[in-house]
Amino acid sequence: MSHQPAFKRALRWLPAILMMLAGLSLCAQQAASLPSVTVDFGKTPTGTGLSSSLQALLLLTVLSLAPTILMTATSFTRITVVLHFLRQGLGQQQTPSNQVLISLSLVLTFFIMAPTAREINTTVIQPLQRNELTTEQALGRTAAPLKVFMLRYTRKKDLSLFLGIAKAPAPKTKADVPMECLLPAFLISELKTAFEIGFMIFLPFLIVDMVVASILLSMGMMMLPPVTISLPFKVLLFVLVDGWYLIIGSLVRGYTG
């Protein structure tokens, strides 16, 4: 019974997450300039309504695109790359396992994206439930908070690169930034930041490896692999400095600070 309140709180964020994914999916379709098809299934108090079968189809489409959108429009990519750098720096291939790293990345991503989800819930989900918005208007409004989030962590240099490749005019406001240019710019900005953090993580572990290798060489123990000896020292160093607290805290503060 103690797990039911937490489960119910998690379910409250499900509509906001689905609208977030659906909004990005709609923007991607608009960016691709695909031919549009309009099907009228009646009128709601504020516009055209969708049948239950089309709503189910929309939900399945969003869920199928969820992994791609999660990796390209949230903090998931940076967190995952940094955690894999950490595992490589420690010299471990399977500890922590991929399942643990992905689960940790997902939990941190939900925590970081919670303010954006709350804004979508306030400006999109609740008005949609009160029949104040049509489905298309709701999907369009969902992309706005995501654009604000991505632009905050996208380098101007990267955005200019894709705007130049697409030969798109310089946007006057944040809302004018095309999603087809913002998504790749945000992704490579996140990768650059993740590699910078990974380099800083590797340095202390590299120093430990070099010290251990030098000591073994001076003792004439050349047949003993240095990695075998340095591994416990690297784990000890990581535990003594409370590495998980430092790295996870730095990652989260990089978005919320």
- Yes or no: say if 116 and 153 are a contact pair by the CB < 8 Å rule: no
- Yes or no: say if 205 and 91 are a contact pair by the CB < 8 Å rule: yes
- Into how many domains does the chain fold? 1
Q: Compute the distance between CA of residue 90 and CA of residue 24 in angstroms, rounded to an integer.
A: 37
Predicted pLDDT of residue 16? 53
Cβ-proximal residues to 238 (8 Å cutoff; 6+ apart), any chain: 90
Average pLDDT score over residue span 78-90: 89
* Measured distance between the N- and C-terminal CA atoms of the chain, rounded to whole angstroms: 36
Tell me whether residue 35 is in a domain: no
Residue 41 has pLDDT above 60, yes or no: no
Tell me whether residue 229 is in a domain: yes
- Yes or no: say if 246 and 73 are a contact pair by the CB < 8 Å rule: no
Helices (H) and strands (E) in the chain, counts: 12, 2
Domain containing residue 201: 4-29+43-256
Tell me whether residue 36 is in a domain: no
> Among residues 10, 147, 19, which one has the least CA distance to residue 73?
147
Residue count of the chain:
257
Tell me whether residue 236 is in a domain: yes
Tell me whether residue 169 is in a domain: yes
pLDDT band at 177 (very low <50, low <70, confident <90, very high): confident
Tell me whether residue 38 is in a domain: no
Tell me whether residue 37 is in a domain: no
Q: Give pLDDT tens digits for 228-247.
A: 778 888 888 888 888 889 89
Tell me whether residue 110 is in a domain: yes
Average pLDDT score over residue span 86-92: 84
